[in-house]
Amino acid sequence: MIYNDRTLTIIDYESEQIANLTLPDGLVAIAFSAGYDSTALFYTICQYITDLNLESRITILPVHHWYSSQIDMFDKCEFIIEQIKKRYPNITIEETEVYFDNTLYANQRNLHKVYWKDLFQRYPDIQYLVKGKMSGPPKEVIDSWPDGWWHFDWQNVLKSPPEYEYDGNVKHYHPFFNIDKRITKRIFDYLDIPKVVYNTIRACEVDYGFMRREEYRHTPYFLEKPCEGCLPCLQKKWAFGEF
Which run of H or E residues covers position 11?
strand 7-12
User: Min. distance of Cβ 216 from Zn ion in angstroms?
Assistant: 12
**Which residue ranges make up the site for Zn ion (CB under 5 A)?**
204, 206, 226-227, 230, 233
User: Min. distance of Cβ 224 from Zn ion in angstroms?
Assistant: 12
Handedness of CA 8, 1, 200, 212 (dihedral sign): positive
Is the separation of the CB atoms in 194 and 84 below 8 Å? Answer: no
CA 17 from chain centre, in angstroms, equals 18
- Give 84 or 233: the residue with its C-beta nearer to Zn ion: 233
- Give 38 or 44: the residue with its C-beta nearer to Zn ion: 38
Is the separation of the CB atoms in 45 and 6 below 8 Å? Answer: no
User: Min. distance of Cβ 236 from Zn ion in angstroms?
Assistant: 8
- Give 59 or 70: the residue with its C-beta nearer to Zn ion: 70
For 3, the 3-state DSSP assignment is strand
Q: Which amino acid is at 196?
A: V
User: Min. distance of Cβ 227 from Zn ion in angstroms?
Assistant: 3
- Give 21 or 204: the residue with its C-beta nearer to Zn ion: 204
Q: Cα separation of 31 and 218, whole Å? A: 30
User: Min. distance of Cβ 199 from Zn ion in angstroms?
Assistant: 16
User: Min. distance of Cβ 39 from Zn ion in angstroms?
Assistant: 18
User: Min. distance of Cβ 74 from Zn ion in angstroms?
Assistant: 20
Helix, strand, coil percent values for the chain (each to nearest 5): 40, 20, 40
- Give 175 or 232: the residue with its C-beta nearer to Zn ion: 232
231-240 vs 36-51: helix crossing angle, rounded to 10: 50
Q: Could you tell me which residues are beta bridge partners of residue 170?
A: 167
- Give 36 or 48: the residue with its C-beta nearer to Zn ion: 36
Q: Cα separation of 243 and 240, whole Å? A: 8
Q: Which amino acid is at 175?
A: P
Handedness of CA 208, 196, 180, 89 (dihedral sign): positive
- Give 154 or 190: the residue with its C-beta nearer to Zn ion: 154
